Amino acid sequence: MGVGTIILRRTIFLALALIIAVFVTGFIIGATGYVDNVIRAIIKEEVRAYRSALSKMPNVNESYISSVVREYEQTLVEYYGLNKPWIYRIIPLVLSTLSFKFGDVQQASVADVAGMQTPVKASDVILTCLPRTIVMVTVAELIAISLALVFAPRVAYKVGSLSDRLVVVYATFMNAIPIWWFALIMIFVFGYRLGIAPQQFRGVISALNTVSEALLKSDIAKFLAGLTAVLHYAWLPIITIVIVLLGPWLYNVRAVLLRVVREDFVTAAEARGLPREVVYQRYILRPSLSPIMTSALLGLAGTLGGYIITESVFDWPGMGTLYYVAISSGDPATILGLTYVLTLVYVIARLILEILYVALDPRVRL
């Protein structure tokens, strides 16, 4: 098989996986019937409001009101599609989501996460929340990865030294601690006891708005002020995530490097008396690059979905919180849209990796 065929084959399978993921989500939403309950509640509320509005009008008799209200209820049931089985509602929604025509947000609480009002497209809500997750989770993951790439090689050269053992112990502990619990502790210590961090994080919305407005007007002073405001909210979540993620990252990069350091060709290069820098860059770094890149790229792609639990602990209005609010309040358009976008990002990351493997590792081309 040629390189092109391999990549094409993978593309087809990944695209299939993507479509199946969205369908599975749609089926779970539909088959469990919980969205129906939510819609029924909405209809009931609207009908009640309609009836009370009618009965306030003078000179309308009771039977007339009842018949009009019944008609109105019927229109609503048809509008929301409750008169048909769930398949008829979910399948078109899944298909239109797959073709990037996201549906409307139905729940006020979902729009509220984005700081919007209800007649709004799911895509707008998602695009509004994305930058908030990037400034917190993605930035934190990037910092953790960079720190690991700087420090892990120093440790990997001296296996068994004190600093190496410290790294292993640190990584072990951070592997065991759930990020969201650590987040609770950080809020408790820095937010409540020391009082140097905010206790509420929703303020980041207006801070980010200031930044984007300043960018549009290229107003540097305002931009810096907005950035400071964003940092005021973001520093605690970022530090929390970096502290916890750095452990596993250090450990993984160290493990990858260790495997390569013990290879015969490295020993041979050292025996030839090549300078350490050359050995590191030419003989160690290159073969280590592909596994490290894999986890880095997949990790970064994963951050775009936000950390649902950690964001929810910080009450950070990002993708994770949006996902959670959409699920708990039963908003099919947003749930499907998020599932689609996030799986798409993941699938694209996988594809980029496949292509990069071919480019970086000549062995694959054989």
Partner 1 sequence: MTLSKGFKSIMDTVKAEIWSQTTGKVALMLLILLVALGIAAAIMLPPNFVQVWNDLKPWGLKPKNVPPQWASIFGYACAPHYEVDLRGVTYRTNITGNEVVIRYILTYDFIANGYPQGIAVSIDGFSLSAAQSFKVTVNIIRPDNVKVPEVISYLTIPIGMNIRVDGALLNPDSMKLASTLVTLYPQLLTIANVYDIAMKYTIYLFSKFSNATGILPLTGTYKVEVIVSAMYSNIPTAKDVDKLITAIRSSNSFGFAIIGTCYGALGTDYRGRDLFEALFFGLPIALLIGFGTAVATTIIGLFAGLVSGYYGGLIDEFIQRFVDVLGSIPQLPILILLAVAIQQTYGAHPNKPFIMLMAILGALIVFGWGGLAIVVRSMTLSIKSEAYVEAANVVGASNWWIMRKHIIPQLLPYIAAQMVYATPSAILIEAGLSILGLQHGLPTWGGVLADARIYGNIAYWWWIFPPGIAISVTSLTFVLLGLALERIAEPRLRRV
Q: Is residue 305 a contact residue for partner 1 (CB under 8 A)?
A: yes
Q: Is residue 327 a contact residue for partner 1 (CB under 8 A)?
A: yes
The one among 107, 123, 132, 180 contacting partner 1 by CB under 8 A: 180
Q: Are 210 and 226 in contact (CB under 8 A)?
A: yes
Q: Which residues contact 318 (CB under 8 A, 6 or more apart)?
A: 129, 130, 132, 133, 136, 137, 306, 311
Q: Which two tokens stand for residue 17?
A: 């996986």
Q: Which stretch binds partner 1 (CB under 8 A): 17-25, 68-76, 96-104, 114-122?
A: 17-25
Q: Which stretch binds partner 1 (CB under 8 A): 44-52, 187-195, 223-231, 274-282?
A: 187-195
Q: Which is nearer to partner 1, 93 or 229 (CB)?
A: 93
CA distance 364 to 344: 25
Q: Which stretch binds partner 1 (CB under 8 A): 31-39, 57-65, 87-95, 212-220?
A: 31-39
CB atoms within 10 A of CB 348: 14
Q: Is residue 107 a contact residue for partner 1 (CB under 8 A)?
A: no
**Directed axis angle between helix 319-329 and helix 332-360, to 10°?**
140
CA distance 284 to 299: 22
Provide Rg for the chain, Cα atoms: 26
Q: Is residue 239 a contact residue for partner 1 (CB under 8 A)?
A: no
Q: Is residue 191 a contact residue for partner 1 (CB under 8 A)?
A: yes
Q: Which stretch binds partner 1 (CB under 8 A): 69-77, 106-114, 137-145, 331-339?
A: 331-339
Instruction: State in angstroms the smallest separation of the CB of 16 from partner 1.
Output: 7
Q: Which is nearer to partner 1, 54 or 184 (CB)?
A: 184
Instruction: State in angstroms the smallest separation of the CB of 35 from partner 1.
Output: 9
Tell me the C-alpha to C-alpha distance, in Å, between residue 42 and each of 21, 116, 296, 317.
28, 19, 44, 24
Q: Which amino acid is at 82?
A: L
| Contacts of partner 1 in 262-281 (CB under 8 A) | 262
Q: Which is nearer to partner 1, 17 or 359 (CB)?
A: 17
Query: Between vectors from CA 124 to CA 122 and to CA 128, what angle results, nearest 5°?
Result: 120
The one among 70, 259, 276, 282 contacting partner 1 by CB under 8 A: 259
Q: Are 134 and 233 in contact (CB under 8 A)?
A: no
Tell me the C-alpha to C-alpha distance, in Å, between residue 169 and each of 204, 241, 245, 258.
35, 18, 14, 17
Instruction: State in angstroms the smallest separation of the CB of 351 from partner 1.
Output: 11
Q: Are 308 and 320 in contact (CB under 8 A)?
A: yes
List residues near partner 1 by CB under 8 A: 13-14, 16-18, 20-21, 24-25, 28-29, 32-34, 37, 159-160, 168, 172-173, 175-178, 180-182, 184-185, 187-188, 191-192, 255, 258-259, 262, 305, 308-309, 312-313, 323-324, 327-328, 330, 335, 338-339, 342-343, 346-347, 350
